[in-house]
Structure formats: C-alpha cells, structure tokens
C-alpha cells in the first residue's frame, strides 16, 4: 500500500470480482503493482491517491458508475485529463465500447487473450519487481 501513488501502478476497473482478482493476480505475478476499483466511482477515488497510474484498464458495463460516465467525469474535471491518462478499454460491449475507445489509448475485446493483455500492459507499464 505504501507504493500507491508511485509511478508504475496499474489501475484496473472491473465489476466482476473473479475477473478483477484474476487480472490482479496475473499482473502481480508479472511483477506489476496493481490497484483495483469495482466501478467508475471507486476509480475516481483511487485516482485521487494515485495521480498518475501507468495504465487504467477500464471495463464499460458496471453498476453505480459505468465506463462511459467515468470518462465523462474525467472530461468534466479537465478536458485533457482523458488524453493525458493512459486508458485502455477492456470490454465485451462491442460497438458502443469501441466507439468510446476512440477517445482513449486502446481497446481490448473481451474475453481478453492473456498474451494480448500482457503485451498491452507492457507497452505502458514497467514491472517494479523482476519476474522469474
């Protein structure tokens, strides 16, 4: 927890706990630092602590605050926040999610292939602990 806020932390926003846990385990296993949020609201709170995550992996369909609302909130805070923050949408929502992904850095079609997921993360983040 003391590493929160340090550059190189991943923020994963996903409402499905099993999937969230899986992403977290997988990425931690690869040596990344991971912070999780179960919806847009939690993600906004987490962003108050980790100001500059190396990547936000964003699900779109979530209760309380979904991915679209989350992006709208970011835009409200500051117009360039959405472009300065590295966000990759990871969703099964199809066209609507792909449309939203045009304003961010990327899109991963769910179900995510492990190699594609790791390759994407590798582009934005550097593991803090050497793996293997």
Interface residue with another protein among 2, 76, 130, 132 (CB under 8 A) is 132
Pull the structure tokens for residue 112.
């995510």
Q: Is 28 in the site for another protein (CB under 8 A)?
A: no
- CA 7/CA 16 separation, integer angstroms: 26
Identify the CA nearest to 39 among candidates 17, 54, 55. 17
Interface residue with another protein among 22, 24, 82, 83 (CB under 8 A) is 22
Q: Is 103 in the site for another protein (CB under 8 A)?
A: no
Interface residue with another protein among 3, 6, 7, 25 (CB under 8 A) is 25
User: How far apart are CB 13 and another protein at their closest, in Å?
Assistant: 15
Identify the CA nearest to 10 among candidates 51, 53, 47. 53
Q: Is 110 in the site for another protein (CB under 8 A)?
A: yes
User: How far apart are CB 11 and another protein at their closest, in Å?
Assistant: 18
Whole-number Cα distances in Å, 78 to 23, 33, 101: 29, 26, 18
Identify the CA nearest to 66 among candidates 40, 104, 91. 40
Pull the structure tokens for residue 3.
């590493």
Which residues are at the interface with another protein (CB under 8 A)?
A: 16, 18-19, 22-23, 25-26, 29, 92, 94-95, 98, 109-112, 114, 117, 132
């Amino acid at each position: 927890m003391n590493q929160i806020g340090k550059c190189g932390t991943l923020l994963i926003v996903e409402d499905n706990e099993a999937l969230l846990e899986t992403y977290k385990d997988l990425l931690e296993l690869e040596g990344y630092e991971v912070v999780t949020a179960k919806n847009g609201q939690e993600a906004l709170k987490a962003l108050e602590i980790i100001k500059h995550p190396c990547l936000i992996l964003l699900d779109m369909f979530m209760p309380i605050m979904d991915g679209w609302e989350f992006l709208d909130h970011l835009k409200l805070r500051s117009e360039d926040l959405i472009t300065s923050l590295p966000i990759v949408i990871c969703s099964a929502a199809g066209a609507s999610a792909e449309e939203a992904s045009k304003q961010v850095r990327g899109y991963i079609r769910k179900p995510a292939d492990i190699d594609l997921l790791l390759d994407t993360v590798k582009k934005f983040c550097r593991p803090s602990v050497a793996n293997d």
